[in-house]
Amino acid sequence: MAVYKRYKGKKISSKHPAYVTARWWVYKRVKGYGTIHQGIPEARTREEAELAERQLLKQLFDKSYGITDTTTTFESFVESTYRKYVEQNNVNKVAKNQYIRVLLGHFGNRPLHTITPQDCRDCQFKLQTKSNKRKKKSSLSPSSINRIMSTASKIFSLACEEGILDRNPMQYVKALPEPPPRKRLLTAQQKENLWRELEKDQLMIRLVILAVNLPLRRGQLLALDESVIDFEQEQIGVIRSKGRPPRLVPMNKTAASTLRAMIADGQLPFPLKDFRKRWHPLLIRAGINKAGGTREENYHFHDLRTYFASELIRRNTNPLVVQNLFAHSDMSITNIYAETDSDMMLEAVKRLDDVQATATIQ
């Protein structure tokens, strides 16, 4: 196939009713050079389309196809443009800096126009097979690798917008399949065991109480101080929120009484420097985590946000309210946290018993 007409994403023949008005396209694979696949909107006849094809082939052989800038490197573009994009769009700076560091380690100072789809697939494969010191398998999950490659795609997309590239090489790279999300809710027995262990550690139980009563992450909770707490208005000012603007979150009586007690005891900000050494052993003693458990098997402090969201759902809270509490830009993100346990599902179906009983009586 060289030149052809396409209508609504499909190749059509001269017998198609839309053939006259459809757009000409060029598709040509040249071994050792690459592939040309693009529309030719200015072509009106097959001869004009074939002329455009020859011009594109010449550009390809001259190694100028898809290139408008031959000097900008991956690293220089990241430093000059992508970091500005991260700052201006309130993107999660901490995570993006980690992803950038990984990508710079792979693409470095290579000119942007020399990076091919296969180079991107090589980067993805390298991340899959890279092992850490403790484990033989990759230390990165498929979802983490997908986020890193998504960052690469955004960098190339910005380069296209700036006129440095004509196409994004990541558009030909498939995302890795991700496993279904793990269950993050504890059983009634696990909750009982957890609270029993927490009662032995005053700081940890206060941290957990705040985590299940406030829509804040661990870093935000540990950074709380008296100056951001307004007991009269029942709200807390949050500054650090994954790069997002400052916001106010509501505070219930349980959280307020815990914070008052901590202020009285001089425990704000949290004097907790060894969180990991206290949290993980606590979960092991409670029989929730295993000593050698994987990340997918173990329960994490961040999972308390799921507990917080599920308790709101259990009390018939409007999902939009839950989304706003978490400051999520999209409801699909909130849905990840809003899990239901077996008790909630049993309670839901039991409500039908009343309906059936009423219908039988009538």
Identify the CATH number of the domain in which residue 132 sits.
1.10.150
Q: What pLDDT is attached to residue 57?
A: 78
Considering the domain architecture, whether residues 338 and 209 belong to the same structural domain is answered as yes
The predicted-structure confidence for 320-354, as pLDDT tens digits, reads as follows 888 888 877 677 666 666 666 666 566 666 666 76
Give the H/E segment covering residue 28: strand 23-30
**CA separation for the pair 112, 115 (Å, rounded):** 6
**CA separation for the pair 7, 10 (Å, rounded):** 5
In contact, 103 and 79? CB cutoff 8 Å: no
In a domain, 259, yes or no: yes
Considering the domain architecture, whether residues 45 and 143 belong to the same structural domain is answered as no
CB-count burial class (<10 Å; 0-12, 13-18, 19+) for 193: middle
Considering the domain architecture, whether residues 13 and 141 belong to the same structural domain is answered as no
Q: Which domain holds residue 33?
A: 3-61
Q: What percent of the chain is helix, strand and coil (3-state, nearest 5)?
A: 50, 10, 40
Domain CATH number, residue 195: 1.10.443.10
Considering the domain architecture, whether residues 157 and 221 belong to the same structural domain is answered as no
Number of domains in the chain: 3
Burial call 66-85: b when 16+ CB within 10 Å, e when fewer:
bbeeeebbbbebbeebbeee
Single-letter amino acid, residue 329: S
The predicted-structure confidence for 100-159, as pLDDT tens digits, reads as follows 999 999 999 999 988 999 999 999 999 998 765 555 555 788 989 999 999 999 999 999
In a domain, 283, yes or no: yes
**CA separation for the pair 214, 210 (Å, rounded):** 6
Whether pTM exceeds 0.75: no
Bridge partner list, 235: 230, 250
In a domain, 216, yes or no: yes
Considering the domain architecture, whether residues 53 and 79 belong to the same structural domain is answered as no
Considering the domain architecture, whether residues 341 and 309 belong to the same structural domain is answered as yes
Single-letter amino acid, residue 52: A
Query: Which residues neighbour 242 within 8 Å (Cβ) at sequence distance 6 or greater?
Result: 92, 94, 95, 217
CB atoms within 10 A of CB 6: 14
Considering the domain architecture, whether residues 160 and 40 belong to the same structural domain is answered as no
In contact, 261 and 254? CB cutoff 8 Å: no
Considering the domain architecture, whether residues 199 and 301 belong to the same structural domain is answered as yes
Q: What pLDDT is attached to residue 315?
A: 84
In a domain, 178, yes or no: no
Q: What pLDDT is attached to residue 361?
A: 46
Considering the domain architecture, whether residues 280 and 325 belong to the same structural domain is answered as yes
In a domain, 239, yes or no: yes
Considering the domain architecture, whether residues 238 and 90 belong to the same structural domain is answered as no
In a domain, 353, yes or no: no
Considering the domain architecture, whether residues 305 and 326 belong to the same structural domain is answered as yes
In contact, 50 and 34? CB cutoff 8 Å: no
In a domain, 352, yes or no: no
In a domain, 35, yes or no: yes
Considering the domain architecture, whether residues 192 and 341 belong to the same structural domain is answered as yes
Which backbone phi and psi does 247 adopt, to 5 degrees? Answer: -150, 165
Q: Give the chain's residues under pLDDT 70.
A: 1, 32-33, 61-70, 90-91, 131-138, 240-244, 329, 332-352, 354-362
Strands 23-30 and 34-40: antiparallel
